Amino acid sequence: MSKYRSSFLLILMIFTGVILGSLIGSFLGNSIPILAYGPEPFGIKGFQLDLGIIRLSLTLLIDINVASLLGLIFAVMIFKRL
């Protein structure tokens, strides 16, 4: 397996692990509150660019919780076993 393909697979697995962990944290956050624990979302809020004809509005927020970190760790562990 080439280095490029291996890097792409690692990034894909990390992204999938974080997304699945975040979903699990959202669904189980009411019954297991520690999974939904995390800081407030951070990132770019309400960046606007008005060029007259085109108006661009961008918001990029990252919301990390304990479950998403567990998903990230689990994804890296699976990748190392491949």
Which range marks the domain in which residue 63 is found?
Answer: 3-81
3 pLDDT band, cuts 50/70/90, is: low
- Specify whether the CB–CB gap between 71 and 24 falls below 8 A: yes
pLDDT tens-digit series, residues 23-70 = 998 898 889 888 888 888 888 888 898 998 999 999 988 888 999 999
Q: How many domains does the chain have?
A: 1
3-state secondary structure the chain: CCHHHHHHHHHHHHHHHHHHHHHHHHHHCCCCHHHHCCCCCEEEEEEEEECCCCEEEEEEEECCCHHHHHHHHHHHHHHHHC
Rg (CA), the chain: 17
12 pLDDT band, cuts 50/70/90, is: very high
- Specify whether the CB–CB gap between 35 and 65 falls below 8 A: yes
Single pTM value for the model = 0.74
